[in-house]
Amino acid sequence: MNASSKKLAVTLAAAVLLSLGVFRFWAFSAEEKEGPEKEASAAEEDGGKKTPAPDSKPPGAQPQSVMEDAEATPVAPPPFSPGIFPCSGCHEDLDPNPTVRTLKRKHTNIVLEHDEKNRWCYDCHTQGNMDKLHLASGKPVDFSESYKLCGQCHGPTLRDWKAGEHGKRTGSWSGAKQYLLCVNCHNPHSPKFQPLKPLPPPVRPKDLRP
Q: Per residue in 78-131, pLDDT tens?
A: 999 888 899 999 998 888 888 888 888 889 888 899 998 888 999 999 998 999
pLDDT of 76: 87
In tens, the pLDDT along 3-43 reads 666 566 656 665 665 565 545 555 555 555 555 555 445 44
* Model confidence, pTM: 0.58
Closest CA to 192 of 138, 148, 154: 154
DSSP 8-state code for residue 145? G
d(CA 161, CA 44): 48
Distance set, CA 3 to CA 11, 16, 33 (Å):
12, 20, 45
Please state whether beta strands 169-171 and 140-141 pair in parallel, antiparallel, or not at all (unpaired). Answer: unpaired
Of the listed ranges 56-60, 142-146, 192-196, the least confidently predicted one is 56-60
Cα(7)–Cα(19) distance, integer angstroms: 18
Alpha-carbon distance of 166 to 169, in angstroms, equals 9
> Rounded to 5 degrees, what are φ and ψ at 177?
-135, 160
What's the Cα-to-Cα distance from 75 to each of 84, 134, 135, 161, 183, rounded to whole Å? 20, 18, 18, 12, 11
CA distance 37 to 107: 70
